[in-house]
Amino acid sequence: MSEYYFRTSDLAVGYNGKTLIHDIEINIRAGEILTLIGPNGSGKSTILKSITKHLAVIRGDSFIADASVNSMNYKEPSQKLAVVLTERIKGELLTCYDVVATGRYPYTNTLGLLSPEDREKVYDAMRRVNADDLAEKDFTAISDGQRQRILLARAICQEPEIIVLDEPTSFLDIKHKLELLSILRSMAKEKGITVIMSLHEIDFAQKVSDKIMCVKGDVISHFGTPDEIFREDIINELYGITAGTFNIAFGSVELPRPAGEPEVFVISGCGSGINTFRRLQKENRPFYAGILYENDIDCQVARSLAAEVVTEAPFMPVSDAAYERALALMKKCDSVICTGVPIGETNRRIASLIEAAKGLGILQTEGGTEDLPEG
Amino acid sequence: MNKLETNGAGTRRARYLAVFIGLLVAFAVLTVWNINSGSVRIPVTNIARIIFTRQGDQTEYDIIWALRMPRIITSAILGGGLALSGFLMQTFFGNPIAGPFVLGISSGSKLFVALVMIVALRFVSYVSSWMMILAAFVGALIAMSFVLLAARSIKQMSMLLVAGIMISYICSAITEFLITFAQDTDIVNLHNWSMGSFSGIKWSGVRISSFIVLVSFVVVFLMSKPIGAYQMGESYAQSMGVNVKRFRVVLILMSSLLAGCVTAYAGPISFVGIAVPHLIKMLLKTAKPILVIPACFLGGGVFCMFCDYIARTAFAPTELSISTVTALFGAPVVIAMLIKRHSAKA
């Protein structure tokens, strides 16, 4: 047995014999979560459908615990692999219990009757996703969030070793997104269930996954751990982000910075500037920011939104170079906004910068400065 | 929570039991009612003696055994087969108003049976039941393949039904054309059959059609599990381990065989295939095949026995075509269903 629970080898997928994506090499261990990210229409679903045998592969093969998926019959995968599809469940007059119970299908007899143990497993699965109170409800009468939980319960009671989910968080509000992903996370870690899914929300992908695969164009552009993948350049290239930026530290995106010659300089620190940066961005007013320590949370946001950020290495006294640069930029501006910054041993010169702004008569204060006790 | 579970399950089971008992009672009542009615009045005591001891007045004996009994069994068996065929087509197309009549399957069968009879009667004096059924089955399959062909390019369900209705009109037109220009008096009699009727079936026909329909019923019942999976959608069915391609072929064959067999003996009968499965699902409040399949079979029989009773007695001695009566009772059900679905969506 190889160290990987699920892997693909030289996999090529597509429709009607036409290759869409080739050279797909996935290697994941049992209990790992692999997330496929990439722009709309990049082929994430196509890859997932090929893994689950819903689509014939063009070339290559997938292996579940070293067993070739190509050579499996129809029944074999059903006891190993469960799916949550984007496709709506048809069927009428189904209670949520009925839908979950279909997960037991691979284990029931010829007529599909449930044994008491089967029934217990159905209720266990519903409890697992906090949906046991929905059992008697009509499946068509529940909310999207509830429906997604029911479908997950259905997959769970199929007792799979691997679950494949196609965009499970679409249509869910933030609470249900978090709930669903944390259930997946705990299933992967506690029960060792391997999870392969596609997500639109790259911030969640970064936080929930063990492995990330970037799907774009005809090949897999990147495959690796979130640490390796979530770099500004990779994400910007993957999604072709030209307007706006992706911030690695927060895993979030910012709208594009305003263009043009800045007329505002913002002095801030320790997070006090973020709201002002965003407000200026929304008002489409370009601005400078400084002097910010590189580890300051303000610095992270300012880098995405400001025309230029004057920075200083963490915990170092503000250098002449930084001070001169800030002063030069400030002089080009009509106004200086100070949102409040704690002044301590190393950043005394920020106080001088504020004094200089005052001297130029362009200082507006939002919050004010606060002197730390010396020593 | 646990108490609630058992309560829900308990109510459901009581409901299922009530529906099946109700259907069986209706079946028994209609059987007695049908035997007991007709242009010749026969006292109940005589009927009982004729049936259980096979003795009595020769004319009465003939009326009971050669006319009424075969007709009752035919309407029950073929009605059941028709409802089942409708249920299978609704499952296949994922559409509650699919059925052998609206999709033109019955008319395809009708055309082929008429064709075989006209051609065969030129050479032989007698067309066997098996030949009729084979012709009807082939006709059903050909009509079905046209519907499937249309379904490949037409994704919209309502348009698919329009295509089916058109196929139905074309087949009926050709059939009427053939019958009109056929000189033979035997063929002219085809006209009654082509309108749909349970009359005139002989015991040999009863045996053959019962055999085919009952065997099909057992096969379909044993397919309950994959049918249940297929109801959820093709992709889900496959992920549950169903060989979807093979399953679809079997589904088409079974529904065509049932529809063909019914048409071979009784001609095209409207609305049973749609109305009965819908009524049954409403009564059971579930679409689970393991319950719906036997209930549909029973319900189709009851529905057709009831309609045949009306067809025979409403304007006696003139008989109505069975389709007239099934449409009268079935069409409102279908309309009600459409309105209900529409308002549920809005």
Number of domains comprising chain B: 1
**What is the Cα–Cα distance from A240 to A238, expressed in whole angstroms?**
6
Q: Same topology for domains A6-243 and A264-371, yes or no?
A: yes
| pLDDT 10s digits, B151-164 | 877 767 677 888 88
| pLDDT 10s digits, A95-129 | 899 999 999 999 998 888 899 999 999 999 999 88
| pLDDT 10s digits, B283-294 | 999 999 999 999
- Per-residue tokens: B120: 């065969």
CB-CB neighbours of A371 under 10 Å: 10
Helix (H, G, I), strand (E, B) or coil at A286: coil
What confidence score (pLDDT) does residue B177 get?
Answer: 85
- Contact flag B225-A105 (C-beta cutoff 8 Å): yes
Band (A287; pLDDT cuts 50, 70, 90): very high
**What is the Cα–Cα distance from B251 to B157, expressed in whole angstroms?**
18
Residues 251-290 of chain B with CB under 8 A from chain A are 281, 285-288, 290
The answer to whether the beta carbons of residues B62 and B234 sit under 8 Å apart is no
- Contact flag B236-A74 (C-beta cutoff 8 Å): no
- Distance between B332 CA and the closest CA of chain A, angstroms: 21
**What is the Cα–Cα distance from B43 to B325, expressed in whole angstroms?**
27
Band (B215; pLDDT cuts 50, 70, 90): very high
Most confident of A326-340, B2-16, B182-196, B292-306: B292-306
Among B7, B240, B245, the strongest candidate for a mutation testing the A interface, having the largest count of A CBs within 10 A, is B240
CB contacts of B224 in chain A (<8 Å) are 111-112
CB contacts of B242 in chain A (<8 Å) are 74
- Contact flag B238-A90 (C-beta cutoff 8 Å): no
| B241 CB within 8 Å of a chain A CB | yes
- Expressed as residue numbers, the domain containing B56 is 2-345
If you search the block for the tokens 């049936």, which residue do you land on?
B51
What confidence score (pLDDT) does residue B4 get?
Answer: 46
Residue B101 DSSP one-character state: T
pTM of model > 0.90:
no
Kindly identify which residue of chain A lies nearest to residue B7, measuring between CA atoms: A136
What confidence score (pLDDT) does residue B10 get?
Answer: 81
Kindly identify which residue of chain A lies nearest to residue B4, measuring between CA atoms: A136
| Percent of chain A residues past pLDDT 90, beyond the cut | 51
C-alpha neighbours within 13 Å on the C-beta side of residue B49: 11
- Contact flag B241-A123 (C-beta cutoff 8 Å): no
| Percent of chain B residues past pLDDT 70, beyond the cut | 93
What confidence score (pLDDT) does residue B195 get?
Answer: 73
Q: Answer yes or no: is pLDDT of B182 > 80.
A: no
| pLDDT 10s digits, A300-340 | 899 889 999 999 999 999 999 999 999 999 999 999 999 98
What confidence score (pLDDT) does residue A323 get?
Answer: 93
Across the interface, of B4, B228, B238, the residue whose CB is closest to A54 is B238
| pLDDT 10s digits, A346-366 | 888 999 999 999 988 888 876
Looking up residue B150, the CATH number of its domain turns out to be 1.10.3470.10
Q: Answer yes or no: is pLDDT of B65 > 50.
A: yes
Report chain A's mean pLDDT, rounded to a whole number.
88
| pLDDT 10s digits, B221-245 | 999 999 999 999 888 999 999 999 8
A37 sits in which H/E element: strand A33-37
Among B2, B91, B232, B239, the strongest candidate for a mutation testing the A interface, having the largest count of A CBs within 10 A, is B239
Cis peptide before B208 (omega within 30 of 0): no
Complex-level ipTM: 0.82
Looking at A25-34, A213-222, B17-26, which range is the least confident one? A213-222
- As its CATH architecture, domain A264-371 has 3-Layer(aba) Sandwich (3.40)
The answer to whether the beta carbons of residues B205 and B213 sit under 8 Å apart is no
Q: Answer yes or no: is pLDDT of A264 > 80.
A: yes
Domain boundaries, chain A: 6-243, 264-371
Assign domain A6-243 to its CATH superfamily: P-loop containing nucleotide triphosphate hydrolases (3.40.50.300)
| pLDDT 10s digits, B22-60 | 999 999 999 988 888 877 778 888 888 888 888 888 888
- B306, B309, B313, B302: which is closest to B40 by C-alpha? B313
Looking at A191-205, A224-238, B286-300, which range is the least confident one? A224-238
Band (B344; pLDDT cuts 50, 70, 90): low
CB-based contacts of A272: which residues, under 8 Å, 6+ apart? Answer: A298, A339, A340, A341, A367
